[in-house]
Amino acid sequence: MNRRDFLAGSAACSLAAMTGKAFAQAGPLTKIIFPFAAGGGGDALCRLLAQHISPLLDRNIIVENRTGGDGLIGIKAVKGANPDGTTVLVTTGPTMYLLPMVETTPSFDAAKDFVPVSQLVRFEFCVFVGTAVPVEVKDFKQFVAWLKANPDQATFGVPSNGTIPHFTGSRLEQALGVKLTRVAYRGSAPIINDLVGGHMPFAISTLTDAIPQHRAGNVRILAVGSAQRSPFLPDAPTLRESGVDLVADAWYGMWLPAGASPDLAKKLSEAVATALAKPEVKQKLSAIGLIPVGSTPEGLTKELAANTAFWQPIVKETGYKITN
């Protein structure tokens, strides 16, 4: 935090001059590759960053959506790119550490095929119930008791297979001693429709997708997966507070292709930190449920390693694999 505050002040001008010269030597254009479709929170993050780091780096920046393969198409595009700083990858942390775990033959190694730049923002997941669960069930512990009394209702929705919500469900099954049946959807919207319609008892998905319906009284958020209570819904307890020792949140990060210089990564991370410290950037990110973080390249390396170590045994125990 001290470093970010410093950069947001008097160092911003010198940073622009220093990084602008370094990046201008690499080419006229920086391209942010985002491996998912336009229109969501991650895409908005990329475009906001492009807008605010462009003057710091003294160059034009575009965002290119390379969709497909659960993020793999965009990841491979950056993996094979020139490491001169003209192309960077922005994607979720789980994409970088879960995909190699579930592929029968891993397509990439995040630690070897990419140079870390910065952790960008965090976002949160939650457990929430729909109209099929009686209104008398008011908290997570009561919900667990209801599941045990109604095992035929122990079915939950997730936005996709092979994701944090998927494996959070597996972890909950172990922790609660309740057999759960997972149903994978294509995104959060159809899950919420089924919860509101009483066709699905509960779900695990992003907090920001669930909050509007929670506030409207159509669904009830019982617990959030973050380490601390969410700033967006402080009344909702965490899973840990609810008796499950599990932190299940996620984040976005930025990477360069392997071979990029550490100096280049450091300069870019400093530009990102400056952008994320701006009040108007923080406000816009908060409006879409993203919590600014910012980090050094070393910080991103540690975060990726810690997440990999935590989720690997959980994923392995499920036996879930995709053929590639």
Dump pLDDT digits (tens) for 152-206: 999 999 999 999 999 999 999 999 999 999 999 988 999 999 999 999 999 999 9
Q: What are phi and psi of 210, to 5 degrees?
A: -85, -30
Dump pLDDT digits (tens) for 270-288: 999 999 999 999 999 999 9
Kindly report the average pLDDT of the chain as a whole number.
90
The answer to whether residue 24 scores a pLDDT higher than 50 is: no
Instruction: Please name the residues in contact with 58: beta carbons below 8 A apart, sequence gap of 6 or more.
Output: 16, 19, 20, 21, 23, 24
Task: Return the CATH architecture of domain 29-122+251-318.
Answer: 3-Layer(aba) Sandwich (3.40)
CA dihedral angle for residue 88, residue 92, residue 96, residue 99, rounded to 10 degrees: -130
CB atoms within 10 A of CB 321: 12
- At the top level of CATH, which class does the domain 124-242 belong to? alpha beta
Q: Residue 118: enclosing H or E segment and its boundaries?
A: strand 114-129
The answer to whether residue 208 scores a pLDDT higher than 70 is: yes
The answer to whether residue 44 scores a pLDDT higher than 80 is: yes
Does this model's pTM top 0.85? My answer is: yes
What percent of the chain clears pLDDT 90, i.e. is strictly above it? 86
Q: Which of 284, 303, 274, 300 is nearest to 89 (CA)?
A: 300
Instruction: Please name the residues in contact with 302: beta carbons below 8 A apart, sequence gap of 6 or more.
Output: none
Dump pLDDT digits (tens) for 66-105: 999 889 999 999 999 999 999 999 999 999 999 999 999 9
Which of the pair, 23 or 39, is modelled with greater confidence? 39
Return the structure tokens found at 173: 């099954």
- Lookup result for tokens 């499950």: 244
The domain ranges of the chain are 29-122+251-318, 124-242
Q: How far apart are CA 277 and CA 273, in angstroms?
A: 6
